[in-house]
């Protein structure tokens, strides 16, 4: 859906998406890194289980909700990637304790 | 820079580091007022100057001169003593000018003598069939990724809607080597005639020549279909096709990415939760705060600057930020106001920056069928409530957006009405034969962004706080 422009010379950052290593770039948000990865990053909604991807990328729609380092329902579009960050794609409702 | 505010009280707290917030904080700090700028994003710039201090897009022509203006604003601010905190989410503001802000997973509380809200705008909801499918995004979303991560659309890409941002985005995508297969222009034919009386002001505005050049640049490379009157997206769990009607003829094209845009509207959540009076703007079709000429709202001490004060664009936002800050300086440290640009000069700047706005608002006033959906089209993305659900609720007695919450949970999901509020108001107004002003809006309350219970529980409590709730 998206690809990186060749002029992007930012250093790589390795994150893990559902346990799989993914190359992101320093300064990417979690959502941008997921969309750039080419992986299936669709979450499913809490209400009907419908698949979603980020819609607004600016912190207002909450369709980018994702589990980051064990904390559920984070807005992936507002959180910058960090080396070794653990991302889980959310399926359905957030679990208690996460 | 995810550290808590250094002090408990400030002369001026500015919320939002877009054009208005950057300008307001710089002006306030320049005049010697203790100034705190809180911003939710990773770096300064807001949306229009997104990633201005970090963008990997280094060829300055690609994002355009209007973008790089933001770098000067950031530089001016950094030359002052203003304290700036990014990744800071303000979740509460009240009439006493008490502010609760979440930074790095912990909440801090600050008090202000003056608050300048510069929370800007968000894209108007575009509730067409299939707009929740993966692969359908806002044009602004694509622009955010382009500016902050140099990401460009790669698969079959369709851009649909209307307004200046749509053409700017298209030009930027093409300059960065991205792909656009088709642009579907939804501008209503009748709007061209309605806008004509306002054309002279627009012809003399700086937007005119730039806008025209950009449209030419895009039209030379992409097929543009104008007069689109119907639009929908379809696919099984993922966007597969975009369908539209233009000139009475329906066409369905395969697509991997659909970018929607029909203008921007004030982001009202924080202001409304602080009880700032808003009124329905019938030209811009949104809620705008009731403000005096200095940006002061109905709540003493709270001013609003930038697009949150009513859509005026980036140039106007900068000036509105300076006006609101100057008014704060006049109130708190009148002697220091003398070294700032005079209010008369600032108001002249604003008039210049707003020239041509009525033309744009009239020309790009979105058509009813793209604002007020019907049938199974989703209105509330969070709670997955359709237009039919809303109308059924009206039929059995729901009178306005707040009653509708009890019927259908609209506006009660995590986005707190940001993506459905305008649609719900207009849909219910139409169904009940009332004006949007009469129908009203959701009653918004803190926290305006979700925070965890653990974060709330970790807030330090005084003896008095505990006594207030513990028996015995």
Residue B136 and residue B215 in one domain: yes
Minimal CA–CA distance to B48: which of B103, B123, B102, B115? Answer: B123
Minimal CA–CA distance to B109: which of B458, B343, B413, B463? Answer: B458
Structure tokens at B205: 């505005």
Residue B233 and residue B271 in one domain: no
ipTM above 0.95, yes or no: yes
Residue B134 and residue B253 in one domain: yes
CA angle centred on A55, ends A52 and A56, rounded to 5°: 155
Chain A residues in contact with B153 by the CB 8 A cut-off are: 1-2
Residue B106 and residue B139 in one domain: no
Chain A residues in contact with B267 by the CB 8 A cut-off are: 60
Residue B134 and residue B111 in one domain: no
Report phi then psi at B171, rounded to 5: -65, -45
CB atoms within 10 A of CB A23: 12
pLDDT at B65: 92
Residue B179 and residue B190 in one domain: yes
For residues A69 and A92, give the distance between their C-alpha atoms in angstroms, rounded to a whole number.
Answer: 18
* Closest chain A residue to B46, measured at CA: A58
Consecutive H or E run containing B46? none
Chain B residues in contact with A92 by the CB 8 A cut-off are: none
Residue B134 and residue B73 in one domain: no
Chain A residues in contact with B444 by the CB 8 A cut-off are: none
pTM, to two decimals: 0.97
Query: Is residue B360, in this structure, part of any structural domain at all?
Result: no
Percent helix, percent strand, percent coil in chain B, to nearest 5: 40, 20, 40
- Full domain range(s) for residue A43: 10-87
From B283's Cα to the closest Cα of chain A, the distance in A is 24
Which 3 state secondary structure label does DSSP give B265?
strand
CB atoms within 10 A of CB B137: 29
HEC-encoded secondary structure of B208-254: HHHHHHHHHHHHCCCEEECCEEEEEEECCCCCCEEEEEECCEEEEEE
Last residue of a domain, one of B320, B340, B360: B340
Query: Is residue A96, in this structure, part of any structural domain at all?
Result: no
Report phi then psi at B311, rounded to 5: -65, 125
Query: Is residue B450, in this structure, part of any structural domain at all?
Result: no
Query: Is residue B416, in this structure, part of any structural domain at all?
Result: yes
Number of structural domains in chain B: 3
Structure tokens at B349: 């700047």
The CATH code of the domain that includes A72 is 3.10.20.440
The CATH code of the domain that includes B231 is 3.50.50.60
From A19's Cα to the closest Cα of chain B, the distance in A is 22
Query: Is residue B359, in this structure, part of any structural domain at all?
Result: no
Interface A:B, Cβ pairs < 8 A = 136
Residue B323 and residue B309 in one domain: yes
Residue B64 and residue B163 in one domain: no
Helix ranges restricted to H, B333-435: 334-337, 343-353, 357-363, 368-371, 387-395, 401-408, 421-432
For residues B91 and B414, give the distance between their C-alpha atoms in angstroms, rounded to a whole number.
Answer: 13
Residue B44 and residue B85 in one domain: yes
Structure tokens at B28: 């306030």
List per-residue pLDDT tens for chain B, 472 residues long.
Answer: 468 999 999 999 999 999 999 999 999 999 999 999 999 999 999 999 999 999 999 999 999 999 999 999 999 999 999 999 999 999 999 999 999 999 999 999 999 999 999 999 999 999 999 999 999 999 999 999 999 999 999 999 999 999 999 999 999 999 999 999 999 999 999 999 999 999 888 888 878 888 889 999 999 999 999 999 999 999 999 999 999 999 999 999 999 999 999 999 999 999 999 999 999 999 999 999 999 999 999 999 999 999 999 999 999 999 999 999 999 999 999 999 999 999 999 999 999 999 999 999 999 999 999 999 999 999 999 999 999 999 999 999 999 999 999 999 999 999 999 999 999 999 999 999 999 999 999 999 999 999 988 898 888 888 988 888 888 6
Whether the Cβ atoms of residue B40 and residue B337 lie closer than 8 Å to each other: no
Which residue of B138, B145, B377, B384 is the best one to mutate when testing the A interface, meaning the one whose CB has the most A CBs within 10 A? B145
Number of structural domains in chain A: 1
- Full domain range(s) for residue B386: 372-439
Q: For A19-68, write each residue's pLDDT tens digit.
A: 999 999 999 999 999 999 999 999 999 999 999 999 999 999 999 999 99
Residue B257 and residue B295 in one domain: no
For residues B364 and B263, give the distance between their C-alpha atoms in angstroms, rounded to a whole number.
Answer: 8
* E runs forming strands in B247-285: 249-254, 257-262, 264-266, 278-281
Across the interface, whether the CB atoms of A57 and B140 are under 8 A apart is answered yes
Residue B116 and residue B31 in one domain: yes
* Closest chain B residue to A98, measured at CA: B452
Query: Is residue A1, in this structure, part of any structural domain at all?
Result: no
Which 3 state secondary structure label does DSSP give B85?
strand
Query: Is residue B469, in this structure, part of any structural domain at all?
Result: no
| A interface with B, Cβ–Cβ below 8 Å | 1-10, 25, 27-29, 32, 35-36, 42, 45, 47-48, 50-63, 65, 71, 73, 77-78, 80
Query: Is residue A2, in this structure, part of any structural domain at all?
Result: no
| Locus of tokens 């005119």 | B208
CA angle centred on B178, ends B173 and B179, rounded to 5°: 105
For residues A16 and A85, give the distance between their C-alpha atoms in angstroms, rounded to a whole number.
Answer: 6
Give, as one character, the DSSP assignment of residue B416: T
């Amino acid at each position: 859906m998206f690809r990186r422009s060749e002029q992007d010379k930012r250093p790589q950052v390795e994150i893990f998406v559902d346990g799989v290593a993914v190359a992101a770039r320093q300064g990417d948000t979690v959502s941008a890194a997921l969309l750039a990865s080419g992986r299936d990053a669709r979450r499913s909604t809490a209400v009907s289980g419908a698949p979603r991807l980020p819609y607004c990328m600016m912190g207002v729609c909450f369709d980018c909700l994702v589990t980051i380092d064990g904390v559920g329902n984070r807005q992936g579009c507002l959180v910058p990637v960090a080396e070794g960050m653990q991302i889980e794609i959310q399926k359905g409702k957030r679990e208690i304790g996460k | 820079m995810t550290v808590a505010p250094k002090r408990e009280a400030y002369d001026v707290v500015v919320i939002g580091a877009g054009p208005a917030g950057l300008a307001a904080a710089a002006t306030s700090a320049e005049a010697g007022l203790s100034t705190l700028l809180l911003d939710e994003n990773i770096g300064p710039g807001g949306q229009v100057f997104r990633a201005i201090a970090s963008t990997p897009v280094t060829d300055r022509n690609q994002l355009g001169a209007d973008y790089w203006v933001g770098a000067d604003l950031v530089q001016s601010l950094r030359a002052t003593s203003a304290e700036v905190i990014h990744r800071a989410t303000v979740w509460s503001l009240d009439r006493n000018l008490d502010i609760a802000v979440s930074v790095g997973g912990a909440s801090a509380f600050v008090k202000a003598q003056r608050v300048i809200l510069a929370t800007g705008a968000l894209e108007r909801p575009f509730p067409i069939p299939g707009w929740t499918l993966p692969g359908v995004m806002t044009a602004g979303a694509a622009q955010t990724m382009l500016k902050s991560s140099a990401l460009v659309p790669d698969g079959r890409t369709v851009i649909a809607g209307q307004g200046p941002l749509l053409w700017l985005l298209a030009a930027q995508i093409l300059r960065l080597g991205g792909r656009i297969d088709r642009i579907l222009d939804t501008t209503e034919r009748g709007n061209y005639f309605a806008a004509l009386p306002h054309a002279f002001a627009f012809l003399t505005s700086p937007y005119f020549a730039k806008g025209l050049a950009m449209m030419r640049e895009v039209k030379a490379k992409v097929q543009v279909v104008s007069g689109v009157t119907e639009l929908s997206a379809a696919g099984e769990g993922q966007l597969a096709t975009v369908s539209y009607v233009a000139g009475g003829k329906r066409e369905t094209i395969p697509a991997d990415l659909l970018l929607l845009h029909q203008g921007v509207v004030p982001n009202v959540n924080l202001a409304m939760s602080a009880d700032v009076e808003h009124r329905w703007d019938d030209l811009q079709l949104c809620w705008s705060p009731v403000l005096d000429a200095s940006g002061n709202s109905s709540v003493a001490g709270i001013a609003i600057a930038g697009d949150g004060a009513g859509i005026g664009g980036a140039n106007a936002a900068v000036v509105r930020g300076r006006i609101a800050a100057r008014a704060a300086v006049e109130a708190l440290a009148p002697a220091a106001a003398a070294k700032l640009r005079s209010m008369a000069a600032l108001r002249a700047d604003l008039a210049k920056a707003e020239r041509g706005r009525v033309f744009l608002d009239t020309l790009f006033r979105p058509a009813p069928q793209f604002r007020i959906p019907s049938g199974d089209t989703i209105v509330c993305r969070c709670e997955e409530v359709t237009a039919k659900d809303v109308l059924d609720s009206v039929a059995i007695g729901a009178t306005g957006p707040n009653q509708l919450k009890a019927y259908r949970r609209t506006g009660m999901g995590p986005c707190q009405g940001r993506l459905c509020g305008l649609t719900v108001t207009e849909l219910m107004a139409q169904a009940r034969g009332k004006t949007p002003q009469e129908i009203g809006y959701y009653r918004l309350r803190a926290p305006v962004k979700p925070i965890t219970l653990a974060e709330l529980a970790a807030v330090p409590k005084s003896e008095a706080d505990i006594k207030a709730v513990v028996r015995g």
